[in-house]
Chains A and B, each alone.
Chain A
Amino acid sequence: MDEPRDPQLLKGVLPMLVLALLTERESYGYELVTRLHEGGLDDLSAGTLYPVLNRLERDGQISSRLVASSAGPARKYYLPTDTGAEQLWSTARAWQQLAVTVDHLLARATPKETS
């Protein structure tokens, strides 16, 4: 059974994950929530994601365009900008380095599993 996730852990990496998913393909807000759920973040709410999208767009890391929808009003689709793409790789490298360090430290503190 999965451990309950600390929201603060997710908060730090969410912008990176959003940039990564948008690099894969453009999406609108609610679709991104669904894709993040499918990716394993099933406790993420739209209310957590929308402020992050707003900040990324304000910082020029993602751009948006309106696409007509068959049901309801036009939807806002997001795509990373060049700045966002650079930011993604820079953050991803930093994350990988941090993950290695954290794993190393945790390995020293966590009891070994018996086979």
Chain B
Amino acid sequence: MSSTRDTLVRELYLMRFSWAMQDYPRYKPIVRELRTELTATAAEVGMRQAVADLGHPRVLADGYLSELGRPVPRWTTGAVWGALAVAAVAYLAMAYAVGTLDTIEQMGGGTLERVFLGATTTFVAESSTLAVESTFTWQVLVFYALVFTVPFLLGARVWRSWASSPTGQTVAA
């Protein structure tokens, strides 16, 4: 019978393995099978040894992915790239706003309006008020969608969706 410690060791390993397997099509049955195999093997050699024999979860997942015999899109990597791109643009917009407010204040205070893709942003820097207000347009929405989508598709290597197995003619990078 497995102890709580064994269960924790097994589940922690499987969680890391699942994360590394996210790009594998229908990976959950493999995780379930591995859980059963780990539990059964632990009854023979102990959970620590059973987990150690599997090696690093990332390497094990790479083994399953390479046995697919074809490259698969990396959706998780794409999502990380997309999120980082949106975060970078949001950071730049914030830095621009802070810099603009600081400049207005150094120049004696006042209000400044700027228009970007149809959205008007108002910067106010006065003795009692420090504010940034902006309207929202569909063009801005499209801009942010593109900022996410382009790195997402490139990071995911979306062209691999159309790649066939090595026996086929289509080859992906």
Contact = CB atoms under 8 A, between A and B. Distances in A.
Interface of A: 28-30, 33, 45-48, 50-52, 54-55, 69, 71-76
B36 interface: yes
A29 B39 CA distance: 12
Contact of A52 (B33, B43, B67, B69): B67
Interface of B: 30, 33-34, 36-37, 39-45, 50, 53-56, 59-60, 63-64, 66-69
Contacts of A30: 37, 40-41, 44-45, 50, 53
12 contacts: A30-B41, A33-B53, A46-B41, A46-B53, A46-B54, A47-B53, A50-B34, A51-B66, A51-B67, A52-B67, A72-B42, A74-B40
A23 to B, nearest CB: 21
Interface centre among A30, A48, A74 (most CB of B within 10 A): A30
B37 A47 contact: no
A35 B53 CA distance: 15
Contacts of A29: 37, 41
Given A73-B36, A76-B37, A47 B59 contact: yes
B40 A47 contact: no
A69 B42 CA distance: 12
A47 B67 contact: no
Interface centre among A29, A69, A72 (most CB of B within 10 A): A72
Given A51-B60, A71-B40, 11 more contacts: A29-B41, A47-B53, A47-B60, A48-B63, A50-B54, A50-B60, A50-B63, A71-B43, A72-B43, A74-B40, A75-B40
